Amino acid sequence: MGLLLAPTLAGLGLAVAALGAFLVRHPLKLALSDWRRGTRYPRTILAAKVAATYGLITLAGFGLAVWRAPAAAWLPVLLAAPLGGLQLWYDARLQGRQLLPEVLGGVALGAGASALMLAGGWGMAPALAAWALLAAKAMASVVYIRSRLRRDRDQPASRWPGLLAHLAALGLAVALALLGWGPWLGVAGMAVLLARAAHGLSPWHRRVRPQVVGFTELGYGILTALLLCAGYAAHA
């Protein structure tokens, strides 16, 4: 989303750094969890090497961004860094599937789009509003997916947390659009996600495998990002 709205060399560096930081999570989690327990398996060294490779990619992108990005672009990165660090802390303790670290990870990643927009010359208000919309979408989706999977396994799970989270995201999108900081197409995207959650948590939804739920959610995420891109581009 950030590269579509603001394609710059600094943005490319930030995007590479964000991608590397995302990919480094899993191998780093494996290596840290083994070392923390004082054990070493064949996977431990391999995971450490893979994590180091992704870390070098992250540093290369970060270096390019430092060279070319304006100072304002680093504000979302600095705000998101503690959130990402806390998620890694949970991951290292094999607790990354809890609600809090999953939410933190989604919120932290959304900062990337905001940073890229600022690197491309966008104003602070619309850039931070984009992060807020992506963060709201991430939080609502995490709550929905957790409830959806539990219900599909015949485990007790209320539908209301997921629905209320999506209603809050929709309300935020409307408020930002009224202020002129967010696009009305963002409201449309949140409305689509609310309808998806209402159906997915209803007694009439069709049960599918978790992998299908994941790929479907990926599609909704791409749709939301494209709607936000189109809305911001038209607003600009």
- The tens digit of pLDDT for each residue in 71-93 reads 899 999 999 989 988 887 887 77
Query: How many domains does the chain fold into?
Result: 2
Contact 64, 58 (CB under 8 A): no
Looking at the fold, whether 41 and 150 belong to one and the same domain comes out as: no
pLDDT at position 32: 82
Higher pLDDT, 191 or 1: 191
Tokens at 143, concatenated:
């709550």
Residue 114 and residue 213 in one domain: no
Average pLDDT value for residue range 171-200:
96
DSSP string, 46-91: HHHHHHHHHHHHHHHHHHHHHHH--GGGHHHHHHHHHHHHHHHHHH
pLDDT single digits (tens) 134-160? 999 999 999 999 999 999 888 888 999
Same-domain status, 112 and 4: yes
Q: What angle do CA 108, 114, 118 make, to 5 degrees?
A: 140
Judge whether residue 198 has pLDDT over 70. yes
Same domain, 131 and 113: no
pLDDT-based confidence at 166, cuts 50/70/90?
very high
pTM: 0.86
Instruction: Say what the pLDDT of residue 89 is.
Output: 82
**Domain co-membership, 47 together with 139:** no
96 lies in the same domain as 139: no
Q: Do 97 and 136 share a structural domain? A: no
Q: Give me the pLDDT at residue 236, please.
A: 57
CA distance 80 to 203: 37
Cβ neighbours of residue 41 under 8 Å, at least 6 residues apart?
A: 34
Residues 106 and 162 in one domain: no
pLDDT at 207: 85
Structure tokens belonging to residue 235:
């607003």
φ, ψ for residue 111 (rounded to 5)? -65, -25
Domain residue limits at 234: 123-236
* CA atoms of 3 and 14, how far apart (whole Å): 10
Residues 100 and 147 reside in one and the same domain: no
Please check whether residues 105 and 128 belong to one and the same domain: no
Nearest-angstrom CA–CA distance, 98 and 107: 15
- Final residue belonging to a domain, choices 121, 146, 171: 121
Judge residue 209's burial from the number of C-beta atoms within 10 Å of its C-beta, 0-12 exposed, 13-18 middle, 19 or more buried.
exposed
Amino acid letter, 48: A
pLDDT, average across residues 184-212: 92
The answer to whether residues 117 and 200 belong to one domain is no
Confidence of residue 205 (pLDDT cuts 50, 70, 90): confident
Kindly state whether residues 107 and 130 are assigned to the same domain: no
The whole-number average pLDDT for the span 49-70 is 92
Considering 95, 121, 147, which residue would you say is the last residue of a domain? 121
Confidence of residue 69 (pLDDT cuts 50, 70, 90): confident
Of the residues 121, 141, 161, which one is the last residue of a structural domain? Answer: 121
Helix (H, G, I), strand (E, B) or coil at 123: coil
The residue whose two tokens read 């600009």 is 236
Share of the chain above pLDDT 70, in %: 99
pLDDT in tens, 6-45: 889 988 998 898 889 889 888 988 888 888 788 888 888 9
Average pLDDT, the chain: 91
- Which two tokens mark 207? 């049960």
Distance in angstroms (rounded) separating the CA atoms of residues 170 and 179: 14
According to DSSP, residue 207 is labeled P
The neighbour count for residue 210, using CB atoms within 10 Å, is 12
The answer to whether the CB of 9 falls within 8 A of the CB of 46 is: no
pLDDT digits (tens, 9 = 90+) for 102-126: 999 889 989 989 999 999 889 999 9
